[in-house]
Amino acid sequence: MTDDAVVESSSAPAPDLEHGVRLEIGVFGPWETNAYLVWDGRSPDALVLDPGMGAADPLIGRLREHGLRLNVIANSHGHIDHIFDDAPLMRGTDAPLAIHPDDAYRLDGRNNYGFALEAVSATRDLREGEQVHIGDLVFDVLHLPGHSEGSVCLYEERQALLLSGDVLFAGSYGRTDLPGAARSRWSYRSHASAVRSRRPFGCCLATGPRRRSNASSPGCAASPRPDGCSFLASPPGTPSCVLRSITREETSQMANLRITRLGHGGVLYRSPDDVWVWVDRWTGAPNYADDYRTAEKVNVVAPTHCHFDHVGDDCADLVELAKVEGAATIGSHEMSVWLGARGIDAVGMNKGGRFEAAGIGFTMVHADHSGGATLGSGADQVTRDLGCWGWVIDFEDGTTVYHSGDTDVFSDMNLVRERYEPEIAVLPIGGHYTMGPRDAGLALEMIGAAAVVPVHYGTFPILAGTPDDLRQHTSASVIELEPGETWEAQP
């Protein structure tokens, strides 16, 4: 399915010629998808990447204005927002369509989200190791699955130019929680790491809405079109972008996930975008970190159950955080009803459900524990079962954390590995009320996480398990944190 004139094996020698690059970008459709028109300024040959909804007519017009011949239409992947105008552009130019074969099934028109998407067939493959030749430009095809099975980037070495599709976003990484995402092969962060390690680039044309643009390459000049689309025209040899240009140095300096042990079973997650997620904060713990008694910032409150040692007496610590303006509180349906009766908005869900808060995905999973909240005191004291659960948390950089909450080991932890493949686990190891180090080691065998942060130990003598004990039962990296200490997760 390859055409030697357009897509060739990477063993083919690249032309040893001085050349530049011309690149124009338009933003189309309700998803604000970027369509790229690329040529070398000498040859009439041109490439279009990702013609989104409404892109065909403006692109055909630009081809005519520049006297260009469209050699190939390339899809960085097969999501509807990147392929929508493949069919009309093919009809208007007689150009062949190229996509990675793992995403070719997405061209059949069925995954249309209610839109009238016309089915097409690709006649070219964008496989790892292939090259796309456009005049004197030679783009290497980099297969980087994750956002979808067949996501690719196109890299022009001599121009140090990367067309990243949705592998990289402006200031971030492509998400991998969409249907068909190749979660088992790559994490978000490995996309960027792979690009950096395999190809140095000076300008990365990354996906993201125009309104988030805060920089562009020198010499960019936007020119409004009568059709309502804006294109960029760049001077010879100057790659330009309507978005933020993400350089190799900038991607290497993106923030990492930070995990702070608060004390007892409490954890504060601070995401790469500085979203603060509080899990099981109990300020009454004898070993609670003094620096975190005042919640400086609260974006998400995500308890795992409502025992006093996870939310405070009468759920006071939970209520305090949940009342913070703008905070999203998530938990069981029963917990949300209880909070709602006290005038506090919360999102109730159940096991198997997923909710996104502040750009972070939370999937509620099983925990083998009890979940009674003891409320009041003396003769008025009551216990209400508000449930218990764990979380699989997908952070915006692609790091997946399994936060088990209080639990024993159970065989369905195998499903956590199979379905979510977490890189990091946060597990109780104290014993007596939860599993101890030996069973936590067994849990890690099933979960498959490379690193584990132990919690729920040492608060009282009866919670006798220790990180050193855990190390005797697992090959995972044991991240031992004192209360108030923070670990920065590395990709």
Q: What is the pLDDT of residues 153-179, one digit of tens each?
A: 998 888 778 888 887 665 455 666 667
Confidence label for 191 from pLDDT (cuts 50, 70 and 90): low
What is the arithmetic mean of pLDDT over 462-486? Answer: 95
Output the pLDDT for position 275.
Answer: 94
For residue 176, the model assigns a pLDDT of 62
Q: pLDDT at residue 86 above 90?
A: yes
Lowest mean pLDDT among 73-77, 185-189, 207-211, 300-304: 207-211
All domains of the chain, ordered by start, with CATH? 7-252 (3.60.15.10), 258-488 (3.60.15.10)
Of residues 145 and 455, more confidently modeled: 455
For β-strands 300-301 and 328-332, DSSP reports them as parallel
Q: What pLDDT is attached to residue 319?
A: 96
pLDDT score of 235: 34
Split at pLDDT 50, 70, 90, the class of 1 is very low
Residue 405 phi, psi (nearest 5): 65, -175
Rounded to whole angstroms, how far apart are CA atoms 214 and 11? 39
Residue among 60, 77, 52 nearest 179 (CA): 77
With residue 204 as reference, give the H or E element that holds it: strand 203-205
When pLDDT is averaged across residues 385-393 and rounded to a whole number, the result is 95
- Residues 401 and 451 sit within 8 Å (Cβ to Cβ): no
Question: How many whole angstroms separate alpha carbon 241 and alpha carbon 247?
Answer: 12
| Confidence band for 41, pLDDT divided at 50, 70 and 90 | confident
pLDDT average, residue stretch 477-487: 93
Does the reported pTM lie above 0.85?
no
Please check the confidence at residue 404 and state whether its pLDDT lies above 70.
yes
Name which of 118-132, 236-250, 266-280, 294-308 the model is least confident about: 236-250
Contact indicator for 247, 269 with CB cutoff of 8 Å? no
pLDDT above 70 (res 238): no
pLDDT at 149 over 80: yes
Rounded mean pLDDT, 88-97: 96
pLDDT confidence band for 98 (50 / 70 / 90): very high
Angle at the Cα of 270 from the Cα atoms of 267 and 276, rounded to 5 degrees: 85
Tens of pLDDT, residues 287-339: 999 999 999 999 999 999 999 999 999 999 999 999 999 999 999 999 999 99
Of 130 and 184, the structure prediction assigns the larger pLDDT to 130
Question: Which residue in 272, 238, 239, 29 sits closest to 169, CA to CA?
Answer: 272
Check residue 89 and give its pLDDT: 97
Cα dihedral 432, 436, 438, 441 sign: positive
With bands split at pLDDT 50, 70 and 90, how would you rate the model's confidence at 192?
low
Three-point CA angle 424, 427, 432, nearest 5°: 170
Residues 14-19: what's their mean pLDDT? Answer: 41
| Number of other residues whose CB lies within 10 A of the CB of residue 375 | 17
Q: Which residues contact 475 (CB under 8 A, 6 or more apart)?
A: none
> So what's the pLDDT on residue 417?
94
User: Residue 424 and residue 404: Cα distance in Å, rounded?
Assistant: 11
pLDDT higher than 80, residue 463: yes
Report whether 484 contacts 261 (CB < 8 A): yes
Structure tokens at 275: 């979203």
Specify the pLDDT at position 173.
54
pLDDT for 233 equals: 39
SS3 call for 63? helix
pLDDT at 29: 85
Position 30 scores a pLDDT of: 82
CB count within 10 Å of CB 481 equals 18
Please provide the distance, in angstroms rounded to a whole number, between the alpha carbons at the two ends of the chain: 36
Rounded CA-CA distance 484/259 in Å is 10
Share of residues in the chain with pLDDT > 70 (%): 77
Task: Tell me the average pLDDT across 463-486.
Answer: 95
Comparing 361 with 15, the larger pLDDT belongs to 361
Phi and psi, residue 460, nearest 5°: -130, 155
Name the more confident of 119 and 147: 119
Q: What is the pLDDT of residue 396?
A: 85
pLDDT category, 379, cuts 50, 70, 90?
A: confident
SS3 state at 299:
coil
Mean pLDDT of the chain: 82
pLDDT at 414 over 80: yes
pLDDT band per the 50, 70, 90 thresholds, residue 457: very high
